[in-house]
Amino acid sequence: MKIYVLTLTLLGLAACDTAAPTGEPTFGALCETPRAPLLTIVPAGTTLVVGTSLGAEVVVGRGPADALAPDAWEDGDTITLPAADAPYDVALFGRVVDPRCADVATGTFAAVYRVAPALPAAPGDDDGAVALDDPRIVGWASGWSRYTFGDGVDRRWQVPPEAALGPAGEDALATAVLGNGGEVVLTFDRPLADGDGPDLAVFENAIDPGFLELARVAVSTDGVAFAEFDTLYLGTTPLGAFDTHDPGLIEGFASKYPVGWGTPFDLALLRYHPAVQVGAVDLADVRFVRVRDVIGDGSERDSFGHPVYDPTRTVLTGGFDLDAIAVLHEAP
């Protein structure tokens, strides 16, 4: 399976200078740090493409998990994660090769990937699903700053998202209903911070382990600039409003797990996100978490360009139903 990184047109990259009068990018923009999607776990056999927003030529490399540099630089921008019978870790690297970038202080993409024969399909399958009573939990969302309904929400559910504040529970009706394409931004008594392992967990209300209404998760320091986590969806079949799908096809979306279990998110996976690179989002000072429902008819794409499917279009309590957001690491 070959997975392609989406390249984005970005404003104000950390390594960017103002464009030259001719409209040509300056060396700073040309020499931006490459990136590839980062997830808690990826399937073996994947071919990743490391790229920049401007399409600069890059080279890639690999090494053991504790490597500070690749064993060797390889021509091209792709690198394949070998198959194996058991999970393993590998360090991947990427850098721009243009000789004009040799003296530009930008940086090298460097990340350790956890590679497994298949994606986790149930709590306990190796990506750190968080139980509602997990002792690592140090707090919960306590307020909200924005709540925008999508469609398919009955009037009785169009109420402030108080049900998503405080601890998660097992009552499938005690949730903030987002609707198809809706979103909510929750706040916290103390800022979240990047620690060892997952830093937050998002709980939904799925009572069937396959009836999973997906959502994207993003974080912010100021409530304006957000950094969104990368996602992967391996399903290829459109779903009706009451259909189910395999959790083993899903990674990086909230609602991978049933009620009582939170999907974990590690802030370290955002370190190469453009908003983090330019300092607009501080991973040591996360004050806002946005949860946005996915329109699962295939019109949306994951971070690798795959169409995303989930039960579509749901009604009455349409879209993602947010139970709670747990804090696992907070700022001192």
Same domain? 42 vs 171: no
pLDDT at residue number 24: 46
> What pLDDT score does 26 carry?
52
Same-domain status, 89 and 232: no
Structural domain that includes position 54: 27-116
Say if residue 144 is in the same domain as residue 267. yes
The DSSP string of 187-252 is EEEEEE---SS--EEEE---SSTT----EEEEEESSSSSEEEPP-EE---S---TT----GGGEES
Residues 239 and 286 in one domain: yes
Residue 91: predicted pLDDT: 97
Percent of the chain whose pLDDT exceeds 90: 71
pLDDT tens for 142-192 read: 999 999 999 999 988 899 999 999 999 999 889 999 999 999 999 999 999
- Tens digit of each residue's pLDDT (9 = 90 or more) over 56-114: 899 999 999 999 999 999 989 999 999 989 999 999 999 999 888 876 666 789 999 99
Residue 138, pLDDT > 50, answer: yes
Q: Is the pLDDT of residue 41 over 50?
A: yes
Assess if residue 19 is contained within a domain.
no
Question: pTM of the prediction?
Answer: 0.90
pLDDT tens-place string over residues 241-251: 989 999 999 99
Most confident region among 50-54, 227-231, 258-262 by mean pLDDT: 227-231
- DSSP character string of 120-138: --STTSSS--EETT-TT--
CATH of the domain at 108: 2.60.40
Q: How many domains does the chain have?
A: 2
Q: Could you tell me if 87 and 170 lie in one domain?
A: no
Q: Residue 14: is its pLDDT beyond 70?
A: no
- Looking up tokens 């009785």, which residue turns up? 156
